Structure 1
Amino acid sequence: MKVTKKTKVKRSPKRGFYDKKTIYKILDNHFVCQIAFVYEGYPVVIPTIYGRDNDNLYMHGATVSRMLLELEKGVPISINITQTDGIVLARSAFHHSLNYQSVTIFGEATLVIGENERLKALKIISDQIIPNRWDEVRLPNEKELKATKILKIPIIEASAKIRQGPPSDEKEDYNLPIWAGVIPITSIIQNPISDPKLKEGIPIPESVKELRKKR
């Protein structure tokens, strides 16, 4: 992916990655992003669900959504996805840090109009969260589709930033009698809890079972 003035990692540049393989791997491990844009002169950051299809991100919401109404105008946006992998404890307070994987994308959104692409985008977003769940449920009806707006953001300007490994202390601090190391952080998919109104005899679907295996 082309490095631009906006995507180039300036602080700790060795942690910057610009290849699609690294960027898309981080994107595909998540489904919630933070979108930043300027609305009526002030900055706004809003979390939302996304789905990736090749070199595009899709997101959806209500047709009256303030964010979607603004973004469809083509205003500049920044998108961030961050995964925290560990708390890095150094011997000095100054060198405490985090292990993390993040992606930042710059671009503009366009409104998805065609019905075929709209349905495809909704399936992509659904599969980003739980693969194959789309095939197990009632699909959106005409009223629901009419109330839903879908945007597409091309992944053109993007970079990843990753920190891994132990703390980096000052040379003279390694002799201090202070514990240092990493406290790992992981996300765990726990056992599903059935809806209290679920009819008896309905088993846990395959999509949920597979999700438990993978995560």
Structure 2
Amino acid sequence: MSFEVGPKTINNVRRHKERASYDYESVHRALDEGLLGHVGFCLEDEDGESTPVVIPMVYGRKDNFLYLHGYVSGRLVKHLAKGKKVSMAVTELNGLVLALSPFHHSVNYRSVVVFGRGELVEEPEERLEALQIITDHMVKGRWDQCRDSTKIELQTTKVIRVEIESASVKESNNKEPNDDPADYKDLALCESTWSGVVSFFTNTIHG
């Protein structure tokens, strides 16, 4: 299965379309292998003007749902509990692509962007399961290693469920920079400027 994509859909990748994926498996895998998401939403002030807000958060996934959590009076959970639109981006940075010219510098990465609406989780069993999913996403099996949450901890924590309505994955994995051919003929430039890929190796312990 794939998320619907078209010229006017919000999840449509417009630049370097060959790097994009829209299937459920790619989206879910990128979310499961990521760790930190940046959650975006809009807040309206007293004059009715919207201000974009982006907050970094840990998260968890079950099926096609994302779970977020926060303090009971936090603006994110209070806002999303009203069924407001939300987006989240998770990015895995894998390397720096250093070219002979600043224009051709790039990075190797995999990013996933999802869109949906927030919904407050009120059923106690689902709330507890969601908190376990979020905790175990950070470190697999961690929930069972910790003490039980106290009544106060559970009362002061709200859980938001977001069904993924649309999403896309974009990935770049350059083996070498894509420099202009003319630059390779400039021997002085090639001898004085190092170019290549600086790879990042991450030790993932949550998967």
Q: How does 1:140-159 map to 2 (within 5 A)?
A: 140-159=149-168
Query: Are residues 1:17 and 2:27 paired?
Result: no
Amino acid of the structure 1 residue aligned with 2:5 = V
**Which position in structure 1 is the counterpart of 2:199?**
184
Once the 2 structures are TM-superposed, how far is the Cα of residue 91 of structure 1 from its aligned partner? 2.0
Once the 2 structures are TM-superposed, how far is the Cα of residue 169 of structure 1 from its aligned partner? 1.8
- Distance in 1 (CA, whole Å) between partners of 2:33 and 2:163 is 18
Q: Would you say the 8 A contact 1:105–1:155 is kept in 2?
A: yes
Once the 2 structures are TM-superposed, how far is the Cα of residue 58 of structure 1 from its aligned partner? 0.3
- Distance in 2 (CA, whole Å) between partners of 1:125 and 1:141 is 17
Answer with 99-108 or 172-181: which moved more: 172-181
**Which position in structure 2 is the counterpart of 1:207?**
none
**Which position in structure 2 is the counterpart of 1:100?**
109
Q: Would you say the 8 A contact 1:32–1:48 is kept in 2?
A: yes
**Which position in structure 1 is the counterpart of 2:171?**
162
Amino acid of the structure 1 residue aligned with 2:163 = P
Q: 1:7 aligns with which of 11, 14, 19?
A: 11
Stretches of structure 2 that go unaligned for 5 or more consecutive residues are: 45-49
- Distance in 2 (CA, whole Å) between partners of 1:53 and 1:154 is 10
Amino acid of the structure 2 residue aligned with 1:13 = K
- Distance in 1 (CA, whole Å) between partners of 2:131 and 2:35 is 13
**Which position in structure 2 is the counterpart of 1:172?**
182
Query: Cα RMSD (Å) of the superposition?
Result: 1.6
Q: Would you say the 8 A contact 1:15–1:162 is kept in 2?
A: yes
Q: Aligned pair in 2 of structure 1 residues 175, 21: CA closer, same or farther (>3 Å)? A: farther
**Which position in structure 1 is the counterpart of 2:47?**
none
CA deviations on 1:45-75 (whole Å, 9 max, x unpaired) are 1111100111111011111111110111122
Q: Would you say the 8 A contact 1:34–1:46 is kept in 2?
A: yes
Give the structure-1-normalised TM-score: 0.84
- Distance in 2 (CA, whole Å) between partners of 1:122 and 1:27 is 17
Q: Secondary structure at the match of 2:27?
A: helix
- Distance in 2 (CA, whole Å) between partners of 1:153 and 1:185 is 31
CA deviations on 1:117-155 (whole Å, 9 max, x unpaired) are 011101100110011111111111222211110001112
Q: What percent of counterpart residues are identical?
A: 38
Stretches of structure 1 that go unaligned for 5 or more consecutive residues are: 190-210
Q: 2:60 aligns with which of 37, 44, 51?
A: 51
**Which position in structure 1 is the counterpart of 2:36?**
32
The count of corresponding residues between Structure 1 and Structure 2 is 192
Q: Would you say the 8 A contact 1:107–1:154 is kept in 2?
A: yes
- Distance in 2 (CA, whole Å) between partners of 1:85 and 1:33 is 16
Structure 1 stretches of 4+ moved >3 Å: none
CA deviations on 1:179-203 (whole Å, 9 max, x unpaired) are 32100123346xxxxxxxxxxxxxx
